Each structure stands twice: as C-alpha cells, then as structure tokens.
C-alpha cells in the first residue's frame, strides 16, 4: 500500500481514512474496537472524528466517538501508530460553540481529554464562524500548534470564498475537508480545488459514499426512509445521479468490485484528494470498502464515471 503525504503537514496517511462518526452510535464500543483493530491490522492509519459525534442522537451529549477512540488507543497502547484527526467549533451545548480564541482552545482541550492523548495530529475547525475574525482563529490554531497540542490544522465546510480568505492570512490552513463525491462535485471542483492545489493543502473528503447513496442500496426514496443515516442520502436523488448509479454499477462489474469500492477508488484517483473518509459499522463492511485501495481505474473508467 502506498502512503500519501498529507499536503505540507509532513504527515503520511494511507489512501483511506476511517470515519469515526459511528463509534458510540451505530457501532457500540465492542463493535468499534473490532473495526478499529481490523483497520490497523490491514495497514491503514488515519482516523477522523469530531467532538460533536454524536450529539445529534437523542440522549447523547457529544464526545461519544472521541471517548471510544481514547479508550481504544489506551487499551491497545498504539497512539503513536495512529494519525488522529478531530474537529471542533460546532455547538456542544449552550454557549459552547464557535471559533473564538477562548472557546476553540477549550474545545481542543476537551477533545484531548476524551481522546486520552496530549496531541492531535490534525485539528479541524468544523465550520466557518462569521462572528470571529479569521485571523483570531488561525492565531489560536498556531498557538495550539506551538504548544504541541496539535501537529497540523484544517477547515471543513468552508465555501471557496471563506477558504480563500483564510489562505490569504499568513500561516493559513494546512488541510481541507470538503463534502465531495461522485454525486456531489460542483461544490469542491474548480475554485476550492484550485486553492487546495495552489496552497498544497491535504484534502480528505467526507460523505465520500454519499451517506450510502453510492453503494447502490438506495434506488428509491422508500429505501432510505427510517434508516439512521438514510435521510442524508435524500440530497442526492435526482435524474442525473440515478443515471450515475447505472454507470457506477457498470464500472464495478468490469472490475468485479462493489459500487462502494469504485466510488472510493474514483476519489483516490482525483489528483487533489489525499484520501476519502469512509465509515463502517461492521468488520465485514470495513473489509469491503478497504479493497477500494487495491483498484486502479482506467482512463475509460474515469471518463464513464464523470460523464
């Protein structure tokens, strides 16, 4: 497996990042430990989470995923082998949100405590905060880096204009995490992608499988109604994307692969993308998606998928 340099951070990651949003939610502690063990066993190393995972679940208060990850790293004694990625800034309770110096520092400290570590490899601001000058946010991240609490920083859910503003500040961001997949391309391609290339940002994509849409399991709205993550798949339902699923299925058959594997392999083949993020709730599901790193798409495959 060929590791990839994460922009200019000096951090190397395997070609797929494990999404930790399911830990402590649709994957309980035992299932999460099994998935994490298998992920590392197969030679992968980067795990993405956030402090808000999974505050959106009734009865949860946030931090569930980070807590499970912290317990797993402590139990396995493998912190030095993990590229740990987490995010802060989204609401964690009354008055607990944003990218001000005071709150972002507090949020990072809380994540470090839950993760039972003294440093985070890549710390993302989860969403832009128009109430705080970007210079204050970036200076705060620089201070956290100088203190050894983070190795690199990044931003997620920034528009291309917000990303451009941040990158105009000396120091800027080291990495970017966009919503990007075969069925959702316009938001990242062109302006944002060009900025990432120009500034040598590491790029890891979220919703890489379109909340399951690109696996082919949602062929009608009835297929996702009532599912834990099915509601997110609804954003991809349109005539063009239904035709895309047919092309994706055809390419998958040529490679004797699953649609999910091809969708992830397409992201890995995009020159500006360091690695896609994908999550799994079962070891068998993890084994399936990790096979995407073994697939080499041809020029014809890429053309068919991007038609």
Which residues are marked as active site? 53
Nearest Cα neighbor of 20 from 57, 76, 70 is 70
Q: Please, which residues bridge with residue 161 across strands?
A: none
Residues 65, 150, 281: CA angle, nearest 5 degrees: 20
> Three-state SS for 153?
strand
Q: What is d(CA 214, CA 184) in angstroms, rounded to the nearest whole number?
A: 11
Q: Please, which residues bridge with residue 152 across strands?
A: 122
Tell which phi-psi region holds residue 289, choosing left (phi > 0), alpha (psi between -120 and 50) or beta: alpha
The tokens of 280 are what?
Answer: 């799994």
- Sign of the four-CA dihedral 62, 68, 71, 72: negative
CA distances from 254 to 46, 251, 262 (A): 30, 5, 10
- Sign of the four-CA dihedral 253, 258, 260, 262: negative
Nearest Cα neighbor of 55 from 45, 63, 66 is 63
Residues 121, 127, 132: CA angle, nearest 5 degrees: 100
């Amino acid at each position: 497996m060929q590791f990839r340099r994460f922009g200019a951070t000096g951090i190397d990651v395997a070609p797929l990042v494990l999404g930790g949003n399911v830990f402590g939610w649709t994957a309980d502690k035992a299932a999460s430990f099994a998935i994490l063990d298998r992920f590392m066993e197969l030679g992968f190393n980067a795990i993405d989470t956030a402090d808000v995972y999974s505050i959106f679940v009734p009865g949860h208060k946030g931090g569930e995923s980070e807590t499970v990850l912290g317990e797993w790293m402590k139990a396995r004694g493998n912190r030095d082998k993990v590229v740990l990625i987490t995010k802060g800034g989204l609401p964690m309770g009354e008055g607990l949100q944003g990218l001000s110096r005071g709150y972002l520092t507090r949020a990072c400290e809380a994540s470090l405590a839950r993760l039972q570590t003294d440093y985070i490899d890549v710390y993302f601001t989860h969403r832009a905060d128009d109430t705080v000058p970007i210079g204050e946010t970036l200076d705060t991240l620089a201070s956290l880096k100088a203190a050894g609490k983070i190795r690199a920083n990044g931003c997620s859910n920034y528009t291309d204009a917000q990303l451009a503003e941040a990158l105009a500040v000396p120091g800027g961001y080291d990495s970017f995490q966009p919503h990007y997949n075969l069925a959702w391309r316009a938001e990242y391609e062109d302006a944002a992608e060009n900025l990432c290339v120009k500034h040598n940002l590491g790029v890891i994509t979220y919703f890489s499988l379109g909340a399951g849409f690109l696996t082919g399991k949602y062929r009608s709205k009835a297929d996702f109604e009532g599912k834990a993550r099915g509601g997110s798949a609804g954003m991809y339902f349109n005539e063009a994307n239904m035709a895309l699923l047919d092309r994706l299925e055809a390419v998958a058959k040529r490679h004797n692969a699953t649609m999910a594997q091809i969708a992830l392999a397409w992201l890995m083949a995009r020159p500006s993308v360091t690695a896609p993020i994908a999550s799994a709730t079962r070891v068998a599901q993890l084994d399936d998606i990790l096979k995407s790193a073994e697939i080499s798409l041809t020029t014809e495959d890429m053309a068919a998928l991007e038609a």
